[in-house]
Amino acid sequence: MTEDWIEPDWPAPPRVRGLVTTRNGGVSTGPYASMNLGLHVGDSVADVQRNRALLRRCLPGEPAWLEQVHGVAVADADRTGAPVCADASVARRPGAVCAVMTADCLPVLFCNDEGSVVAAAHAGWRGLAAGVLDATLARMGVPAATVMAWLGPAIGPAAFEVGDEVREAFVAADPATAIAFRPAAGAGKWMADLFLLARLRLARLGVVRAYGGGICTYASRERFFSYRREGITGRFVSMVWLAP
């Protein structure tokens, strides 16, 4: 584990472990330097595999890698082998690692008070609006009041400019989300707060304990990949698991 990787700061049970990589600590070069963990972004496959091997040394098992499509499908990390098409995963088996890759979208980690189930969700605006957090909580199968969430690094409200269609996708479903948007300079443009949108969604679902948030990938060039900033770039990974 490199010095600038992140362990979630939340009051989770002792057997719940989490880890977020940064762009540092790997072998990739160029726009993918250096800890790119995404096989789908144009980086050398050999370099990504070496990076994944370095990551594996910090984990109890191979992460349940997903083919993320900005949807709401939730995979079973206890059973996943080859990557499956999903944007979240849930685990109950000790040592099974839930993982999501991001480079501006919001990673959300979950656990319950008992420490019997964990989950990770990839919440870009499309997935967030479509209900990926709802689907993840439903698959956890425990009362929302017993669940806490942690919001990982994502593009911040000072950098995330969106169009009217994004604002409408949220406000039409929940007028209260209007507070997460402020007018931008251009006509029909808004600055969106993904962290606040996630907190509002979680609160509607009954998850009132949401920690983290506030680390902007776009503004943190030295630590995080950002698709909005760079276009061609790598992916970092946010993970949660139950200790064996």
User: What are the extents of the domains in the chain?
Assistant: 16-155+206-242
Q: What is the pLDDT of residue 81?
A: 73
Question: Do residues 91 and 119 lie in contact, with contact meaning Cβ atoms separated by under 8 Å?
Answer: yes
Q: What is the pLDDT of residue 176?
A: 97
Q: How far is CA 222 from the centre of its chain?
A: 19
Longest Cα–Cα distance of the chain, Å, equals: 53
Closest by alpha carbon to 52, among 61, 183, 226? 61
Q: What is the pLDDT of residue 239?
A: 98
Consecutive 10-residue averages of pLDDT for the chain (244 residues) = 92 98 98 98 98 97 97 94 91 98 98 98 98 98 98 98 98 98 95 98 98 97 98 98 95
**CATH fold for domain 16-155+206-242:** CNF1/YfiH-like putative cysteine hydrolases (3.60.140)
Q: Which residue carries 């070496």 as its tokens? A: 50
Rounded CA gap, 150 and 12, in Å? 10
Q: What is the pLDDT of residue 83?
A: 86
Rounded alpha-carbon distances, angstroms, from residue 182 to 85, 95, 163, 188, 212? 34, 42, 11, 11, 22
Q: What is the pLDDT of residue 186?
A: 86
Which runs of E-coded beta strand occur in the chain? Answer: 16-20, 63-64, 66-67, 74-76, 84-85, 88-91, 97-102, 106-112, 118-123, 147-151, 161-163, 181-183, 189-192, 209-212, 236-242
Closest by alpha carbon to 80, among 71, 92, 72, 69? 92
Question: Do residues 113 and 148 lie in contact, with contact meaning Cβ atoms separated by under 8 Å?
Answer: yes
